[in-house]
């Protein structure tokens, strides 16, 4: 670590570097918004690009595939790079991807741009959690992680509904253009307020990918993440056609706003309690998602049921990322950096699978079958969380990422 990085990191020992962590939170906001905004604008994008809503949904799938294919090899290839330079490079990737999406009229070109955006996202997510932990004092590392990931629910509560509103009112291209502007401004913020860190020294020892996956506790956490995020993305990607079947047609922006606002409460609760109640939080989180899915199966009974389901869903999802990453990093110990890359890969398998599988369900069985499909994923996840010791409430979240 350079003297500059040491000074920057040392200045935070008495507390959290909030402006730097908020820059990371804004980065997670931008990545989530870039990834998920097409879900709120599927009809508009499909109509303008002359493809079906199911095909438009693949704009999310191809983004996830880019992350899936790139995360582990790029994380390994850039292990020795300066951390801040790498962070800036990923943000530049989002700016390019969103600019092309906003300007192109060719669906194939936009698919390529989305794929490249996904490549940037995969590297960014593998970088994000270790970066946040290294910026914070050891006893506040869990809270630092929660702040850095807070951009996810903010994007879902404010960004996606606002982007959907802008996309409907001014055109979906305007919404993607605004994301390019956010990326440009964010680059300056990162350069000024986020401390730089050295990467790993070349020749340093690192466990292989498969050795990390086979470490005790890792595989159950990964299976739980896969099931949970598959369910999340089946529901989120195709929320608009689902709402058409439960008497809430045209209310996508309001339902997603409800989901997102309540998700802020979820991340606040988890951030305050994850270090001492991980297993309980995991079980309650998955249980709430199951309850939301059950309510959506009877959503046509009343609009209140639909909005109640959205609120419960948001409460569950708000803290899910922090819960799962905490469990995995604790289980991985000194291999936390490799575990961070693995979780990004599994997460994006689930994103791509959710968009693709949800599209198949939508075409073959109709939107009313979507909530039922969630139960086949979430009930096994709940059983794993109840039975497996990986979701323990003791340990540290920072040993691995502080070791180098």
pLDDT at position 392 is 65
396: pLDDT confidence band, cut at 50, 70 and 90?
very low
Q: Can you spell out the DSSP letters for 170-185?
A: H-HHHHHHHHHHHHHH
CA R_g for the chain? 20
pLDDT tens digit sequence for 190-243: 999 999 988 776 655 566 677 778 788 888 889 999 999 999 989 988 888 888
Q: What is the spatial distance between Cα 163 and Cα 155, in angstroms, rounded to a whole number?
A: 9
Between 6 and 126, the higher pLDDT residue: 126
What's the confidence (pLDDT) of residue 198?
82
Q: Cα separation of 240 and 33, whole Å?
A: 17
pLDDT of residue 207: 65
Segments making up each domain of the chain, as ranges: 12-196+207-395
Q: Which CATH number fits domain 12-196+207-395: 1.20.1250.20, 3.30.70.1520, 3.40.605.10, 3.40.1710.10?
A: 1.20.1250.20
User: Model pTM?
Assistant: 0.74
Percent of the chain with pLDDT over 90: 30
pLDDT, average across residues 23-46: 89
Lowest-pLDDT range of 284-293, 310-319, 344-353, 369-378: 344-353
* pLDDT at position 3: 37
The pLDDT value given to residue 201: 63
Q: Predicted confidence band at 12 (pLDDT cuts at 50, 70, 90)?
A: very low
Q: How far apart are CA 393 and CA 284, in angstroms?
A: 14
C-alpha to C-alpha distance for 17 and 144, rounded to whole angstroms: 9
Q: Measure the CA–CA gap between 27 and 186, rounded to whole angstroms.
A: 7
> Cβ(52)–Cβ(174) under 8 Å?
no
Q: How far apart are CA 48 and CA 173, in angstroms?
A: 10
What is the band of 78 on the pLDDT scale with cuts at 50, 70, 90?
A: confident
Q: Which position has the token pair 């009974």?
A: 301
Distance separating alpha carbons of residues 50 and 148, to the nearest angstrom: 38
pLDDT of residue 300: 65
DSSP code per residue over 332-359? HGGGHHHHHHHHHHHHHHHHHHHHHHHH
Q: Pick the residue with more confidence: 2 or 29? A: 29
**Residue 236, pLDDT score:** 85
pLDDT of residue 318: 85
Is the model's pLDDT at 320 over the cut of 80? yes
- The reported pLDDT for the residue numbered 183 is 96
Residue 97's closest CA among 130, 129, 70? 70
Does 5 have pLDDT greater than 90?
no
Q: For residues 265 and 281, what is the distance between their CA atoms, to the nearest angstrom?
A: 13
At 203 the pLDDT is 55
List phi, psi (to 5°) of 57.
-60, -20
Residue 9: its pLDDT value, please?
43
In angstroms, rounded to a whole number, what is the distance separating the alpha carbons of residues 84 and 127? 10
- For every residue of 214-281, DSSP letters joined together read TSTTHHHHHHHHHHHHHHHHHHHHTHHHHHHHTT-TT-HHHHHHHHHHHHHHHHHHHHHHTTT-HHHH
d(CA 382, CA 38): 30
Contact assessment for residue 329 and residue 390, using Cβ atoms and an 8 Å cutoff: no
For residue 209, CA distances in Å to 226, 325, 336, 342 come to 17, 17, 11, 8
Q: What is the per-residue pLDDT across 245-277, written as a single tens digit (0 to 9) for each?
A: 877 777 777 888 888 888 888 888 887 777 678
Tens of pLDDT, residue by residue over 146-196, are 888 888 878 877 888 788 889 989 999 999 999 999 999 999 999 999 999
């Amino acid at each position: 670590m350079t003297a500059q990085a040491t000074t920057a990191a040392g200045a935070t020992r008495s507390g959290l570097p909030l402006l730097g962590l908020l820059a990371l939170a804004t980065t997670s906001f931008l990545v989530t918004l870039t990834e998920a905004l097409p879900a709120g604008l599927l009809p508009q994008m499909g109509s303008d690009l002359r493809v079906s809503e199911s095909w438009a949904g693949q704009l999310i799938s191809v983004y996830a595939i880019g992350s899936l294919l790139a995360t582990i090899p790029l994380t390994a290839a850039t292990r020795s790079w300066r951390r801040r330079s790498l962070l800036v490079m990923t943000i530049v990737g989002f700016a390019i991807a969103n600019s092309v999406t906003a300007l192109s009229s060719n669906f194939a070109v936009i698919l390529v741009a989305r794929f490249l955006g996904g490549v940037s996202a995969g590297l960014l997510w593998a970088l994000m959690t270790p970066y946040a932990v290294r910026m914070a004092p050891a006893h506040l590392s869990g809270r630092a992680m929660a702040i850095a990931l807070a951009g996810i629910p903010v994007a879902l509560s404010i960004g996606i509904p606002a982007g959907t509103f802008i996309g409907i009112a001014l055109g979906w291209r305007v919404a993607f253009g605004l994301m390019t502007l956010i990326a440009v401004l964010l680059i300056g913020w990162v350069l000024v307020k986020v401390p730089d860190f050295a990467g790993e020294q070349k020749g340093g020892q690192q466990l292989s990918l498969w050795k990390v996956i086979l470490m005790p506790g890792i595989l159950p956490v990964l299976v739980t993440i896969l099931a949970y995020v598959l369910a999340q993305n089946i529901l989120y990607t195709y929320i608009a056609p689902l709402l058409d079947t439960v008497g809430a047609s045209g209310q996508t922006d309001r339902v997603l706003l409800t989901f997102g606002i309540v998700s802020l409460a979820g991340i606040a609760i988890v951030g305050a309690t994850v270090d001492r109640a991980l297993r309980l939080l995991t079980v309650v989180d998955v249980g709430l998602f199951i309850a939301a899915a059950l309510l959506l199966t009877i959503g046509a009974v009343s609009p209140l049921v639909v909005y109640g389901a959205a609120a419960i869903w948001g409460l569950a999802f708000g803290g899910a990322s922090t819960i799962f990453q905490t469990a995995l990093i604790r289980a991985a110990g000194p291999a936390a950096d490799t575990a961070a890359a693995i979780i990004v890969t599994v997460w994006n398998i689930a994103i791509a699978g959710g968009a693709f599988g949800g599209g198949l369900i939508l075409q073959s069985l109709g939107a009313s079958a979507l909530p039922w499909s969630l139960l086949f994923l979430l009930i096994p996840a709940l059983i794993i969380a109840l039975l497996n010791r990986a979701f323990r409430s003791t340990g540290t979240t920072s040993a691995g990422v502080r070791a180098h």
